[in-house]
Each structure stands twice: as structure tokens, then as C-alpha cells.
With several copies, the nearest count.
Chain A
Amino acid sequence: MINKIVASVDEAVADIFDGATVLFGGFGGAGEPQELFAALLRQGAKNLVGVSNSIGKGDKGLAVLIGEGRIGKMICSFPLIKGGEAFQQQYRAGRIALETTPQGTLAERIRAGGSGIAAFYTPTGVGTEMAEGKELREFDGVPCLLEKAIKGDFALIRARCADRWGNLVYAKTGRNFNPIMAMAAKVTIAEVDEIVELGELDPETIVTPGIFVQRVIKRGRA
């Protein structure tokens, strides 16, 4: 019997290893897997490569992992945000590497990673700093950059509701990067508000099919 529901959040993140690439869902506070962030902080893995829209802010989530020196490199679109001092300090001290990527390119690279697409050409970033070191090529008169897929060893995501097969639905703009990160990681761990019986989710409205999800943890079980 398939049962992807794990008993504790600490068990859910237990095998995240030093140096792993971890995709972190969430955008602007919505759809952030806060309990998974906290568990990863307790767990201790370090020198992680983090992939996320921003670098987190304030005194929770990704910002704390960064502040504690647990992230060796960030791939993100917003390395500079209000409240993001934790990252700035680490960066300016030379303790964290940074790959800045436009948000749409970041999303597409993650989707490509989850879809078996090795690389793609996009017009975004031509003529900017983002073009440095990247192949430039014209298609139908439009100059484009070659961008490569991003894959994760783990994805830590947040959803509203799951069943034991790992099917997921989200809450409003809490969807954001979560469904594509689920596709792009070897092990996707979903933090959810609610778990329902198999068959309660309408097949037509499932956003992330369970094939993309390896573990489900209900919030409040920590």
C-alpha cells in the first residue's frame, strides 16, 4: 500500500545530506514550508545549495538557515530584499555564493529540471548582466540566452491538502514555485495543513499528482 505520510517532520528531513541541492518553495510569505525549515535547522545539514525565489527575511525560515551559515550557495531571483540582512551579511563576508537568475527563468529552469528538458533558449536577460558567460543565439530574429535546467536532491514545499498517494492542492498564491519544485527534486517533501482520504480530492483539480511527491507531513505534528 502506498502511504507517503510520515509521522514526524524531523523524520521527513532526516536524510538531507551535507552539500545537497534543496529547492525551497514559497513566495512573499505565502506557501512557505515553515515547519520543514525549522526541522532542517534542527537537523544540521550544511553546505547546502539553496534554490528559492528570494533569500528569506526576518528571523524565520530560509533567512535563519542562511544566518546560521548552513547554505553554501543560493540560486534565486531576489538576493536583495527588505529584511534580508542575514543573506547580505553572509554574502559580503564571502561566506555564501550567489547565482542570481530572473524569476521567470528560475521558474522555467526548475520546470525543465522536472521535465527531462536539459536546457532552453529564452529572450529574458539578453543585453544584461545575466547574459555573461551564457550562449547567445538568435531564433526567428530574436536573440536568446541558453539556460540550463535546475534539479534538486530535495524539495521542501508547502501545500494545503494531501492524500496518502501524495496528491496535492494548494492555497491561493501559496501555489507559486511549489508545484514545479515538486517536479524537479528526487525527494519532494510536502508540508500540508490537511490530509484527506484517498479519493476525496477530485482528479480534475489535483495540481500536483502524487508521482512528484515522496513524503507528506501534516503541520502541527512536529
Chain B
Amino acid sequence: MIPTPLTKEQLARRVALDLRDGQYVNLGFGIPTEVSNYVPPGREVVFHIENGALGLGPAPAPGQEDPELVNAGEQPVTLLPGASLFHHADSFAMTRGHHVDIAVLGAMQVSERGDLANWKVKGADLGGIGGAMDIALGVKRLFVAMLHTTNRGEYKIVKQLDYPVTGLACVKRIFTDMAVIDVTPDGLLLREVAPGFSVEAVQQVTEPRLTVAPDIQTIRWTL
């Protein structure tokens, strides 16, 4: 079988499978934002945005956008029944205070210890921190969703970050278009590979050594 990396939609769908009924979840920009579209039916997941709402619904229909109701990426959103609104200090009490169960963030690099870099390009004078540092350290479980390598094929899963740090030892699980990898006290544990990918193929694009889970599986993005 030809190695077939996941599409971004498939990647978002795979992440969504790991969200459980009743969880409170914060989604970062990019691929993570898409995750909310694919929560499996029957699961009630409450999405949090750091700019002050819990209980986000689907994107508004065209023409129904409200400029006073946006997510952290400035995209218009809607509220579900049960939603609540609050100010920024209360919002970050939710993340910093370990009330949010899961955050899914994008990343420029993740280290084998679970260190995260996602706010500033190496060598740049400016970067947008936003809420990433607060969220990375404060939620109960931090997921990263990203492409496995840069578009020039460089490692993004590295032994040591050389991009500016967002948070140390905070990432628990990495979802890429090629693999699902857990960060464990013993290093990176390869749990799933994309269809057609061998362990070796994933290892080749991953700088740190991967331990292979005894029950390694092919990534599925539907139930």
C-alpha cells in the first residue's frame, strides 16, 4: 500500500475521536480549529475560547455573522444552548487553573520531552504569543495537531527545540498527518501510523528515537 499521509480534514477528524463526552476543550488556530466540526455524534463536548465563551456551536450561516461574537482567530462563531460568556481574567482562570480538560494547539516544533514551540519563528524579532503559553501549561492534557515535517521536509518532532519555547514538558499527545505519538516519561511512544506507513518511514521523519507501542495500529479517523 502506498504511504498516504492524512489530509488536514482527516487529521482533524482523528483528533476529534479522542474528545470524550462532557469534556471542556480549547482549540488553537489552523488545523485544531477544524476539530470542532468532527466531534462524533452522541458526544457533548464544550468548546472554550480564551476570548470569553464556553459552548461554541457551528460556524454561522453566511450573512448571520455577528462581529461581536468571534473566536480567538477572529472568525465568527455561534453559541449553543448552555453557552456562557465571561471576561478575559475568568477565561484564563479556566485554562491556567486546570479546568479545561484538553487543548489542541498547532506547533512549529515539539521535543521528545513534550516541550512546545509555536509562537515565534526562529530568529524573528516579533511573535504572537496570545494565550498559547497560558493554555499549554494550564490545561489537563495538551494535544498537538500539525503536519509531521515542515514543507521543506525538516523535522518538527525534535530532540531539543531550537525555536523559542512556548512551554516545557507540556505536550501529552502529538497528532500528525503520519502518526499519533504519545509523550511519555520514557520518551516518544508511537501508537498509530497513517495508512501504508511503516514504523521506519515515520522514524525517518522524526528526530528522536520512537518506541513502538505493542498494540500499534493504523490511524482511523472515523468510528
Contact = CB atoms under 8 A, between A and B. Distances in A.
In-complex A–B contact (CB below 8 Å): yes
Contact of A127 (B131, B134, B165): B165
Contact of A116 (B81, B90, B98, B120): B98
Contact of B69 (A54, A173, A178, A212): A173
B44 A1 contact: yes
B85 interface: yes
Contacts of A177: 87-88
A116 B133 contact: no
Interface in A1-23: 1-2
Contacts, number: 211
A203 B84 contact: yes
A178 B87 contact: yes
A88 B125 CA distance: 10
Interface size class on chain B is 35 or more
B162 interface: no
Interface stretch (B4-12, B49-57, B142-150, B179-187): B49-57
Interface string A184-222: 000000000000011101011011011110000000000
B89 interface: yes
A180 B51 CA distance: 13
Given A128-B165, A203-B85, A108 B66 contact: no
B82 A110 contact: no
Contact of A171 (B48, B68, B81): B68
Nearest to B79: A203
B96 to A, nearest CB: 3
Contacts of B208: none
A174 B22 CA distance: 27
B32 interface: no
Interface of A: 1-2, 27-31, 53-54, 77-81, 88, 91-92, 98, 100-108, 110-111, 113-117, 122-130, 163-165, 167, 170-180, 183, 197-199, 201, 203-204, 206-207, 209-212
A117 B85 contact: no
A203 B126 contact: no
A174 B168 CA distance: 32
Contacts of A2: 21-22, 44, 46, 82
Q: Which of B46, B126, B167 has the most chain A CB atoms closer than 10 A to its own CB?
A: B126
Contact of A125 (B55, B125, B133): B133
B218 interface: no
Given A2-B46, A28-B72, A176-B87, A199 B128 contact: no
Interface of B: 21-22, 24, 42, 44, 46, 48-55, 66-74, 79-100, 115, 120, 124-135, 137-138, 164-168
A127 B51 contact: no
Contacts of A206: 84-85
A165 B46 contact: yes
B158 to A, nearest CB: 16
A104 B82 contact: no
A167 B21 contact: no
A31 B68 CA distance: 7
Nearest to B44: A2
B92 A126 contact: no
Contacts of A77: 128-131
A56 B24 CA distance: 30
A209 B52 contact: no
